[in-house]
Chain A
Amino acid sequence: MLERFAGWFERRIKLVRVIRDDFGKPEPLGIGWLHCFGSSLFTLLLVQIVTGILLALNYSPASDHAWESVSYISYTVPFGGFIRGVHHWTASVLVVVLALHVMRVFFWGAYKFPRETTWLIGVCLGLLILGFAFTGYLLPWDQKAYWGTEVGTRIAGSVPLLGPAIHSVMLGGPEMGAATLTRFYGVHTQLFPLLLVALMGLHLFLVRYQGITEHWQLKGDNPRNPFWPNQTARDITLALVTFGVAVVLAIKLGAPLENRADPTATNYVPRPEWYFLCLFQFLRYFEGSLEPVGAIFIPALCVLVVFLIPFLDRGPGRGPFQRKWFSIIGVLVISALIYLTISGAMFSGPVAGVVTKH
Chain B
Amino acid sequence: MSAEQPPDQITRRGFLNAIIIVFGAVIALVVAVPGIGYLIAPALGRKRPQAEWDAVAEAAQLTPSATPFKAVFTQQVQDAWVTVSVQRTVWITYQGPDRIQVLSGRCTHLGCTVHWDAARGLFACPCHGGLYNDKGQVIGGPPPRPLHRLDAKLEGGKLSVRGDQYA
Residue of B nearest to A172 (CB): B42
- B-side interface residues toward A, CB under 8 Å? 39-40, 42-43, 45, 48, 70, 72, 77, 79-82, 84, 86-89, 105, 109-115, 122, 124-131, 138-144, 167
Q: A168 is contacted by which of B45, B131, B140 (Cβ under 8 Å)? A: B45
Question: Told that A169-B40, A174-B45 touch, could you supply 20 new A-B pairs with CB distance under 8 A?
Answer: A64-B82, A151-B110, A154-B111, A174-B48, A179-B42, A179-B79, A179-B80, A266-B89, A266-B105, A268-B113, A288-B138, A351-B125, A351-B126, A351-B129, A352-B129, A353-B140, A354-B129, A355-B122, A356-B140, A357-B139
Q: Which residues of B contact A356 (CB under 8 A)?
A: 139-141
Q: Which residues of A contact B87 (CB under 8 A)?
A: 262-264
Q: Distance (Å) between the CB of B144 and the closest chain A CB?
A: 5
| Alpha-carbon distance A244/B10, docked complex (angstroms) | 64
Q: Distance (Å) between the CB of B114 and the closest chain A CB?
A: 7
- A-side interface residues toward B, CB under 8 Å? 63-64, 147, 150-151, 154-155, 158, 164-166, 168-169, 171-174, 177-179, 182, 262-270, 283-284, 286-289, 291, 350-358
Q: B130 is contacted by which of A179, A262, A270, A353 (Cβ under 8 Å)? A: A353
Verify A354–B48 contact, CB threshold 8 A.
no
Verify A355–B140 contact, CB threshold 8 A.
yes
User: Which residue, of B39, B77, B109, has the highest number of chain A Cβ atoms within 10 A?
Assistant: B109
- Contacts A173-B42, A351-B127 known; A267 to B144 CB distance under 8 Å? no
Q: Distance (Å) between the CB of A268 and the closest chain B CB?
A: 7
Verify B42–A155 contact, CB threshold 8 A.
no
Q: Distance (Å) between the CB of A272 and the closest chain B CB?
A: 10
| Alpha-carbon distance A267/B114, docked complex (angstroms) | 8
Q: Which residues of A contact B130 (CB under 8 A)?
A: 353
Q: Distance (Å) between the CB of B111 and the closest chain A CB?
A: 5
Q: Which residues of B contact A177 (CB under 8 A)?
A: 77, 79-80, 84
Secondary structure of the A side of the interface? loop
- Contacts A173-B42, A267-B115, A270-B112 known; A178 to B142 CB distance under 8 Å? no
Q: Distance (Å) between the CB of A298 and the closest chain B CB?
A: 15
| Alpha-carbon distance A351/B125, docked complex (angstroms) | 7
| Alpha-carbon distance A177/B142, docked complex (angstroms) | 26
- Contacts A172-B42, A355-B139 known; A263 to B86 CB distance under 8 Å? yes
Verify B144–A289 contact, CB threshold 8 A.
yes
Verify B140–A354 contact, CB threshold 8 A.
yes
- Contacts A165-B40, A284-B142 known; A270 to B127 CB distance under 8 Å? yes
Residue of B nearest to A356 (CB): B140
Give 4 closest A-B pairs by Cβ, nearest first: A351-B129, A353-B129, A350-B126, A165-B43
Verify B140–A264 contact, CB threshold 8 A.
no
| Alpha-carbon distance A171/B41, docked complex (angstroms) | 11
Q: Which residues of B contact A270 (CB under 8 A)?
A: 112, 127
User: Which residue, of B40, B113, B115, has the highest number of chain A Cβ atoms within 10 A?
Assistant: B113
| Alpha-carbon distance A38/B74, docked complex (angstroms) | 51
Q: Distance (Å) between the CB of A103 and the closest chain B CB?
A: 30
Q: Distance (Å) between the CB of A161 and the closest chain B CB?
A: 12
| Alpha-carbon distance A283/B129, docked complex (angstroms) | 12
- Contacts A267-B115, A267-B126, A268-B126 known; A351 to B141 CB distance under 8 Å? yes
Residue of A nearest to B144 (CB): A288
| Alpha-carbon distance A289/B142, docked complex (angstroms) | 8
| Alpha-carbon distance A287/B125, docked complex (angstroms) | 14
Q: Which residues of B contact A174 (CB under 8 A)?
A: 42, 45, 48
Verify B124–A353 contact, CB threshold 8 A.
yes
Q: Distance (Å) between the CB of A127 and the closest chain B CB?
A: 19
Verify B139–A358 contact, CB threshold 8 A.
yes
Q: Distance (Å) between the CB of B110 and the closest chain A CB?
A: 4
User: Which residue, of B87, B89, B144, B167, has the highest number of chain A Cβ atoms within 10 A?
Assistant: B144
Q: Distance (Å) between the CB of A261 and the closest chain B CB?
A: 12
Q: Distance (Å) between the CB of B116 and the closest chain A CB?
A: 9
Q: Which residues of B contact A267 (CB under 8 A)?
A: 115, 126
What are 23 A-B pairs with beta-carbon distances under 8 A?
A: A63-B79, A150-B110, A151-B110, A154-B111, A174-B48, A177-B79, A178-B80, A179-B42, A179-B79, A179-B80, A264-B88, A267-B126, A270-B112, A283-B142, A284-B142, A288-B143, A291-B109, A350-B126, A350-B127, A354-B131, A355-B122, A355-B140, A356-B140
